[in-house]
């Protein structure tokens, strides 16, 4: 199998510097925060194999970078149009596809997401697939919450998850409280 070469960009955002990985067809392969670079590289190694890809510094700004910056500037739909390519399992890709269909401004519980993909008893497996998502924000795993509507684990950290949901007006925290409010998709 030939080694794939992906382009790597570093993007300053209000949530910290992000890493954006794209292929030669302009498809997004990974997005994560710089302080979670090892996690991102681990996910890429699991998907493609340790020696099946290499990263090079991007020679120009990608459409993915521009979409991510537009998202942070308030254009919530900019990332929805960004093409992605992943190499996860069939189940993971099904979960990631369902994540992209969660509307901006809404959250969903793991169990409801499992039911939505036709696997109502697979809430834990959905959670694992959610955690293996290599494309933060664009594949909006931050919109998935716990059964009791609490914010649960997020690869970028709960503070970033809280910020992203507030940015999308999905989970405004009441003043002085870390408990989420907002609208939920059952």
Per DSSP (E only), the strands in 141-181 are 144-145
Identify the H or E element spanning 152: none
Residues 83-130 have pLDDT tens digits of 999 888 999 999 999 999 999 999 999 999 999 999 999 999 999 999
Q: What is the CATH number of domain 90-185?
A: 1.10.10.10
pTM score over 0.75: yes
**Residues in a beta bridge with 4:** 53
Residue ranges of alpha helices (H) inside the chain are 37-48, 63-72, 90-100, 110-116, 123-131, 158-167
Q: Is the dihedral of CA 24, 25, 26, 30 positive or negative?
A: negative
Nearest residue to 84 (alpha-carbon basis) of 95, 101, 76, 96? 96
Q: Which of 26, 27, 141, 171 is catalytic?
A: 141
Domain segments of the chain: what residues? Answer: 4-72, 90-185
Is 26 an annotated catalytic residue?
Answer: no
Residues 169-181 have pLDDT tens digits of 864 333 332 323 3
CA distances from 34 to 39, 48, 52, 122 (A): 10, 20, 22, 31
Q: For position 183, what pLDDT does the model report?
A: 46
Percent of the chain residues topping a pLDDT of 90? 68
């Amino acid at each position: 199998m030939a080694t794939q070469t992906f382009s790597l960009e570093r993007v300053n955002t209000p949530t910290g510097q992000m890493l954006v990985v794209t292929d030669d067809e302009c498809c997004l392969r990974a997005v994560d925060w710089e302080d979670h670079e090892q996690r991102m590289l681990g996910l890429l190694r699991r998907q493609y194999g340790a020696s099946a890809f290499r990263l090079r510094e991007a020679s120009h700004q990608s459409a993915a970078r521009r979409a991510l910056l537009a998202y942070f500037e308030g254009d919530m739909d900019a990332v929805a149009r960004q093409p992605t390519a992943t190499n996860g399992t069939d189940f993971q890709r099904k979960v990631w596809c369902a994540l992209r269909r969660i509307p901006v401004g809404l959250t969903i519980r793991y169990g409801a997401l499992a039911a939505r993909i036709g696997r109502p008893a697979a809430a834990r497996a959905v959670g694992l697939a959610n955690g293996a998502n290599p494309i933060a924000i664009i594949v909006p795993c931050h919109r998935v919450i716990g059964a009791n509507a609490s914010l649960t684990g997020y690869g970028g950290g709960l503070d970033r998850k809280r910020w992203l949901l507030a940015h999308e007006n999905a989970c405004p925290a009441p003043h002085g409280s870390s408990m989420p409010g907002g609208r939920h998709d059952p």
